[in-house]
Amino acid sequence: MDVNKPQLPPPPGREPYGVIPRWFMERTVKKECTYKEWLRATFGNDTAERLINEYYIGGNDYGDAVFWQVDIDQRVRTGKIMNYDPTTGKRIRGSEAYVDWIHSIMQREGALPEGWRLEQCLYGEHLLRSRPRDIVAVAEGAKTAHVGSVLLPEMVWLAVDSMLALSEERLSVLKGRSVIFFADEGRAYEEWSKRLSPIAHNVGFSYLLSEFMEHHAPMSGGDIGDIVTKESDDVPF
């Protein structure tokens, strides 16, 4: 990416959103983490490397995963840091759990300019432009997007990062696309059922809200990744 490329002017009354240097992201992609260990053990080296390179899955010095948000114009917005069990692929919970954001760390360390402002985008959004005719699949979390792209690679898999993150602003890049939303079981499905219709109408995309997890989730709040890691069942695709 040309860091000197002119940027579009921000909307009136708003400061331009901040970006993080691409070289910083690329440096983390070369680092290992426990999440990458799980990807390789679960899907094999070739598929894992494809996911790592396509989604810019990074690592830090402590073995945590970094999931980078890169927008449709290849600008790096931020990265979410989380730690995972290398055997189960599940997030570490309890006192050893770790969640942070790259921009927050850089701000605490004074590495970003004064006035730097975060504006999040869809996770995996950078893949849209290279696949303009493919159906788009939107999940809640990054891991679900990775698993989905292995099981149903004919779709472009993205994630919103949070159950409540659906908004016209964040989904505006889906204008003119056909989209299937894969909500996690339970509350996420109920929440998305209420939110999606007006957003789709105002942005201008056609959509289907899948009931897949409502029928196949192995646990309350389960996602597609939970089905893959549930050893007793075959994946029902």
Q: What are phi and psi of 35, to 5 degrees?
A: -65, -40
The pLDDT assigned to 186 comes to 66
The residues pairing with 182 across neighbouring beta strands, listed in sequence order, are: 139
Q: Which two tokens stand for residue 90?
A: 């599940």
pTM of the model: 0.85
The pLDDT assigned to 163 comes to 81
Same domain, 58 and 132: no
Residue 201: inside a domain, yes or no? yes
10-residue stretch averages of pLDDT, the chain, 237 residues long: 48 71 97 98 97 98 98 98 95 94 97 94 98 96 95 96 90 98 81 94 96 55 56 42
With a CB cutoff of 8 Å and minimum separation 6, the contacts of 142 are 55, 67, 80, 123, 124, 159, 161
Residue 36: inside a domain, yes or no? yes
Longest dimension (CA), the chain: 55
CA distance 2 to 8: 14
The pLDDT assigned to 5 comes to 47
CA distance 178 to 206: 5
Same domain, 144 and 223: yes
Where among 52, 82, 108 does a domain terminate? 108
Same domain, 40 and 96: yes
Same domain, 130 and 98: no
The pLDDT assigned to 16 comes to 80
The pLDDT assigned to 233 comes to 44
Residue 114: inside a domain, yes or no? no
Q: What domain range includes position 74?
A: 22-108
Residue 52: inside a domain, yes or no? yes
Distances in Å between the Cα of 144 and the Cα atoms of 19, 89, 149, 158, 213 are 25, 11, 8, 9, 12
Count of structural domains within the chain: 2
Residue 233: inside a domain, yes or no? no
Same domain, 224 and 130: yes
Residue 234: inside a domain, yes or no? no
Task: Tell me how far the alpha carbon of residue 97 is from its chain's centroid.
Answer: 19
Tell how strand 99-101 and strand 156-159 pair up. Answer: unpaired
